[in-house]
Amino acid sequence: MMHEEQRSTPFVDGHWPTLDGQAPLIIAHRGASGERPEHTIAAYRLAIEQGADAVETDVVVSRDGALVCRHDAFLSSTTDVADRPEFAGRRRLGPQAPRRRARIDWWVEDFGSADLQALRARRRFADRPSAHDGLYPIVFLDELLDLTTARKARLILEVKKPSYFESIGLDPFERLVATLRNRGLDNPHSGIVIESFDSSFLQRLAPEVGNPIVQLIGRKAVLGPGLDLGSIAGYAVGVAISKKLLIGGEGAKTRLITRAHDLGLLVHAWTFGDDLPTVGGVTAKAELALAVAAGADGVVTDFPKTARALLGASACPS
């Protein structure tokens, strides 16, 4: 469901401050992850039912080369792997991450598809409802594509740490290209957008697929000459930025969206949620309204129902 009738809801002055003048996309972060365990079919399905324009997923790679819908390569925070004695021996020290100590955990690249299918998903945050913990299996990209294709829903697909997976012989590049190509989804009309923090991977991918490319930009990015939006515009249709780059510490709007729009780049902002920390000490709804008023072309949220209620208003939510 594209919800075009909701996308066309105008501000009182007749347009939204987005690049195309349309209402911003509501992008469900790992599905409706505020209400269901993230990256489960239940979370994706609920997001679509609640009026999300797109669902967002992350992709990592299993030992046998399957594309798996998980945010982290480690499994303990969102699955019951620690309760499975048959997998106790696979707990190990993982790779060193930039600015982080190496973690002892269970790693997706040590598990084949059959073992991953035996695991059950859990909520990430302890203060979110746990009634659905243990009910849903891990999702593979093919399963999610079946759902979004059937529901005619957009998909924002983030490839996680492609250089790391390439370094251990599990390069997601050919696997992703083949999956999209075999389904006839490697084109700009498929409703599938591909994003990553890895700009080299995106520049490598762009000539191979016709899907729109979005460059992810983290909250510690340097604004100004260090953030070369002009170069990004050469291979991407937009950027997805931390809300901290969009909204200043006092709730003031930065000029990043103006700079991006001047280059023809869309801007998606992440991550909003009813129970997540906000920027500038405002309420969660006020923070979301600030992003919309600043001209965000898409808002990534754990609670798409909240965003739909806000954007369903006919007046500018400022």
Residue-wise pLDDT tens for the chain (318 aa)? Answer: 334 434 444 454 558 999 999 999 999 999 999 999 999 999 999 999 999 999 999 999 999 999 999 999 999 999 999 999 999 999 999 987 766 788 999 999 999 999 999 999 999 998 998 999 999 999 999 999 999 999 999 999 999 999 999 999 999 999 999 999 999 999 999 999 999 999 999 999 999 999 999 999 987 765 454 568 999 999 999 999 999 888 876 666 778 899 999 999 999 999 999 999 998 789 999 999 999 999 999 999 999 999 999 998 533 443
pLDDT at 138: 97
User: Structure pTM?
Assistant: 0.92
What pLDDT sits at residue 37? 98
What pLDDT score was predicted for residue 218? Answer: 85
Residue 7 has a pLDDT of: 44
- Which pair of tokens denotes residue 68? 């798996």
Q: What is the pLDDT of residue 285?
A: 94
Which homologous superfamily does the CATH classification assign to the domain defined by 4-311?
A: Phosphatidylinositol (PI) phosphodiesterase (3.20.20.190)
Give the span between the Cα atoms of 220 and 200, in whole angstroms: 19
Nearest to 134 by CA among 66, 61, 195, 81: 81
